[in-house]
């Protein structure tokens, strides 16, 4: 059992002198008891600077889908490195990696390379505006499309429970006027906006499975319903598959649900941990980047990360990868439910392939409003007890599995999870759902 993390604590204090909060993204600052520092990883395991080993369900907040130090991926990147970092000009991996994406993503005809999901969402929005000659877009409350001013809206309620306010200090408050918020899973809510006669909506953006707020699958027929509404109203449908792409299926949620969006945004699992993103989709929409739509980026199509894309897609194309994800995801979700039951703890567990979400205090979670009622503080206390027992899990309740995780890893984790639940209950009592009437303002 791990009691404390003295070297991590020391390094974190030192880092605070050079990085605000001692972290490279603010979200990492939410880690309890404090941000940890790591030496390296192998497969499903990470080792911290104090020498502790963890089964890793953070996986770099999602990208490390092949586990740490995957041999094929490492070899592909290492082979490229001596040839130079970037050319600012064409090279063969641009089309080879793009062809691999096009082969996987249903209906996609072109790819634009970018560096992060936040950037790729922005070019997707610009392309949709140019294609339709419209300005506004529909965003679902609780969905996350990166940290840009345009998209960081309606994600988490503020202290007054409002979702229709800027999400951060320093945000352009004018961004709000370009967005119409809809409720995830409620077709009428999207229809009311899209069928408004004077609507000026270029695109509907969705996470096709709401991974950022509860791992909530779309209700039956919902994505097809959105597709039909978009067709009826001349609006583009954009699937933000930054989490679901190459994870729920090789062709992401578009393949899993048999619905073809106009554009798909990809990142995270696309390159096994290397920084790259892409927009894939209709040729007539993406080719606008040759006809007046600016798409720029010094590092776009960088050969090192495209070597990573090619190697990652190759590894994910091995037979049995997605059935194993489903098997391990289900085993983990079932195991966590069993452990919670054993200690009489009310918590829902959602699962979509290799993504699992624990929702303390809730009997079930099918909506964003329900998600908000979960007991986050209890879960944060649980993550510390998990760390003590060698399990590294994200704050917020989401768990990612990689191809490197074995059934034995899952079983070990379930055992540790049960002990962590018991310890958390002993210290803080059981989780409590917030008093929530199922509605959120805005």
Ligand X SMILES: Cc1ncc(COP(=O)(O)O)c(C=O)c1O
Q: Which residues are catalytic?
A: 144, 240, 268
Stretch that binds ligand X, among 16-24, 138-146, 318-326, 382-390 (CB under 6 A): 138-146
Residue nearest ligand X (C-beta atom): 117
- Phi, psi values for residue 63, rounded to 5°: -65, -30
Minimum distance from residue 409 beta carbon to ligand X (Å): 24
User: Does residue 33 have a cis peptide bond before it, meaning omega lies within 30 degrees of 0?
Assistant: yes
Candidate list 41, 43, 142, 146; residue touching ligand X; CB under 6 A? 146
CA 44 to chain centre: 19
Nearest residue to 272 via CA among 47, 97, 143, 92: 97
Candidate list 70, 145, 389, 405; residue touching ligand X; CB under 6 A? 145
> Which residues, 6+ apart, have CB-to-CB distance to 38 below 8 Å?
46, 47, 48, 49
Minimum distance from residue 240 beta carbon to ligand X (Å): 5
Query: Cα Rg for the chain, rounded, in angstroms?
Result: 21
The number of residues in the chain equals: 442
Burial environment of residue 321 by CB neighbours within 10 A (0 to 12, 13 to 18, 19 or more): middle
Q: Does residue number 300 form part of the binding site for ligand X (CB under 6 A)?
A: no
**Are 36 and 58 within 8 A, CB to CB?**
no
Minimum distance from residue 71 beta carbon to ligand X (Å): 25
Q: Does residue number 149 form part of the binding site for ligand X (CB under 6 A)?
A: no
- Select 150 or 267, whichever has its Cβ closest to ligand X: 267
- Select 98 or 278, whichever has its Cβ closest to ligand X: 278
- Taking residues 34 to 63 in sequence order and writing x for each that binds ligand X by CB under 6 A, - otherwise, the string is ------------------------------
Please tell me the distance from the alpha carbon of residue 357 to that of residue 362, in angstroms, as a whole number. Answer: 12
Interactions with ligand X, residue window 263-282 (CB under 6 A): 267, 277
Label the pairing between strands 236-240 and 263-266.
parallel
- DSSP assignment, residue 352? E
Q: Does residue number 207 form part of the binding site for ligand X (CB under 6 A)?
A: yes
Nearest residue to 299 via CA among 114, 90, 84, 122: 114
Stretch that binds ligand X, among 69-77, 103-111, 168-176, 235-243 (CB under 6 A): 235-243
- Taking residues 243 to 262 in sequence order and writing x for each that binds ligand X by CB under 6 A, - otherwise, the string is x-------------------
Handedness of CA 375, 380, 381, 387 (dihedral sign): positive
Q: Does residue number 118 form part of the binding site for ligand X (CB under 6 A)?
A: yes
- Select 70 or 145, whichever has its Cβ closest to ligand X: 145
Tally the C-alpha atoms within 13 A of residue 250's C-alpha that lie toward its C-beta.
19
Stretch that binds ligand X, among 65-73, 87-95, 111-119, 416-424 (CB under 6 A): 111-119
Please tell me the distance from the alpha carbon of residue 118 to that of residue 154, in angstroms, as a whole number. Answer: 16
Minimum distance from residue 268 beta carbon to ligand X (Å): 7
Q: Which two tokens stand for residue 184?
A: 């995830």
- Select 247 or 388, whichever has its Cβ closest to ligand X: 247
Minimum distance from residue 265 beta carbon to ligand X (Å): 7
Q: Does residue number 418 form part of the binding site for ligand X (CB under 6 A)?
A: no
Q: Does residue number 153 form part of the binding site for ligand X (CB under 6 A)?
A: no
Minimum distance from residue 392 beta carbon to ligand X (Å): 18
Please tell me the distance from the alpha carbon of residue 347 to that of residue 340, in angstroms, as a whole number. Answer: 7
CA 5 to chain centre: 28
- Select 179 or 340, whichever has its Cβ closest to ligand X: 179
Question: Applying CB under 6 A, which residues contact ligand X?
Answer: 116-118, 121, 144-146, 207, 212, 240, 242-243, 267, 277
């Amino acid at each position: 059992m791990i009691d404390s993390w003295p070297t991590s604590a020391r390094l974190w204090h030192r880092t605070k002198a050079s990085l605000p909060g001692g972290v490279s993204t603010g979200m990492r600052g939410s880690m309890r008891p404090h941000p940890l520092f790591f030496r390296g990883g192998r497969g499903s395991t990470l080792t911290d600077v104090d020498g502790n080993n963890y089964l890793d369900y953070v996986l770099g907040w999602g990208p490390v889908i092949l586990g740490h130090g995957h041999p094929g991926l490492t070899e592909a990147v290492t082979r490229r490195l001596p040839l130079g970092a970037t050319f600012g000009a064409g090279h063969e991996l641009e089309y080879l990696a793009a062809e691999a994406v096009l082969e996987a993503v249903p209906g996609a005809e072109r790819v634009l390379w970018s560096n992060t999901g936040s950037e790729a969402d922005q070019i997707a929005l610009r392309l949709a505006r140019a294609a339709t000659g419209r300005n506004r877009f529909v965003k679902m409350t609780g969905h996350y499309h990166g940290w840009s001013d345009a998209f960081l809206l309606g994600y988490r309620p503020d202290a007054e429970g409002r979702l229709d306010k800027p999400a951060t200090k320093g945000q352009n408050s004018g961004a709000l006027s370009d967005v119409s918020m809809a409720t995830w899973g409620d077709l009428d809510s999207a229809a009311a906006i899209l069928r408004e006669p004077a609507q000026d909506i270029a695109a509907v953006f969705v996470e096709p499975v709401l991974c950022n707020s509860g791992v909530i699958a779309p209700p039956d027929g919902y994505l097809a319903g959105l597709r039909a509404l978009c067709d009826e109203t001349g609006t583009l449908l954009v699937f933000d598959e930054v989490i679901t792409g190459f994870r729920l299926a090789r062709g992401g949620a578009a393949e899993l649900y048999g619905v073809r969006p106009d554009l798909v945004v990809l990142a995270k699992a696309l390159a096994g941990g290397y920084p790259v993103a892409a927009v894939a989709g209709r040729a007539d929409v993406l080719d606008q980047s040759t006809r007046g739509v600016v798409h720029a980026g010094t590092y776009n199509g960088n050969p090192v990360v495209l070597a990573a894309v090619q190697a990652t897609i190759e590894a994910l194309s091995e037979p049995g990868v997605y059935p194993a994800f489903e098997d391990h995801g289900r085993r983990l979700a079932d195991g966590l439910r069993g452990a919670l039951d054993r200690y009489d703890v009310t918590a829902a567990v959602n699962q979509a392939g290799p993504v699992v979400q624990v929702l303390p205090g809730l009997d079930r979670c099918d909506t964003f409003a329900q998600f908000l009622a979960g007991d986050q503080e209890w879960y944060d206390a649980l993550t510390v007890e998990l760390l003590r027992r060698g399990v590294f899990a994200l704050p917020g309740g989401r768990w990612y599995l990689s191809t490197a995780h074995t059934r034995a890893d899952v079983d070990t984790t379930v055992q540790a999870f049960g002990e962590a639940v018991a310890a958390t209950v002993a210290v803080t009592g059981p989780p409590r759902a917030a008093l929530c009437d199922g509605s959120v303002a805005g």
